[in-house]
Amino acid sequence: MQKLDDWNILDNKITPFMIPAEKVAHVHPDNTLEHALLVLIKSGYTAIPVLDTSFKLHGLISKAQILDSILGLERIEPERLQNTKVDGVMTSSLACINDSDTFERALSYSINHPFVCVENSDGEFMGIITRSKLLAYLNGYLHESRKKT
């Protein structure tokens, strides 16, 4: 059996796998949690990037973070959704790579993250690469390589 190191797939650039920024659901740091929750529910995602108006990446916001932020000691406090901004709840710890990085790097980040954010050398958000897209490509590649042997 061949080792993955022998395959050129690991050195492929990641841009063909990227969903461009203009197609990625996102929110702004100054949006309310109510708005963020609506975007998350409508999009069907569990987490989305937080971008400013210049498309600089600030972090991620998830349904779990929003729900955690409205849990009181004795009840859920939905009024917090209207009064709390995304930047007060979001996480700035996220998986992010450069648009010139390789498939191997994107794949390694995707182990612990459902998607990887992509920035250019100026720090501008370019889009995301989903774990499912990477795995689908790898699966196809493995099936094709098996046919050749």
Kindly report the average pLDDT of the chain as a whole number. 89
Q: How far apart are CA 139 and CA 95, in angstroms?
A: 22
Q: Give the tens place of pLDDT for each residue, 10-53.
A: 777 888 889 999 999 999 999 999 999 999 999 999 999 999 99
CATH topology of domain 4-148: CBS-domain (3.10.580)
Domain boundaries, the chain: 4-148
pTM here? 0.83
Q: How far apart are CA 141 and CA 138, in angstroms?
A: 5
pLDDT surpasses 90 at 2? no
pLDDT surpasses 80 at 118? yes
Structure tokens at 41: 């529910």
Q: Give the tens place of pLDDT for each residue, 9-20.
A: 777 788 888 999
> Residue 94 — left, alpha, or beta (φ > 0 → left; ψ -120 to 50 → alpha)?
beta
- Neighbour-count burial of 129, counting CB atoms closer than 10 A to its CB (0-12 exposed, 13-18 middle, 19+ buried): buried
Kindly indicate the confidence band of residue 117, based on its pLDDT and cuts at 50, 70 and 90.
very high
Residue 89: partners with Cβ closer than 8 Å, 6 or more residues away: 33, 61, 65, 66, 69
pLDDT surpasses 50 at 4? no
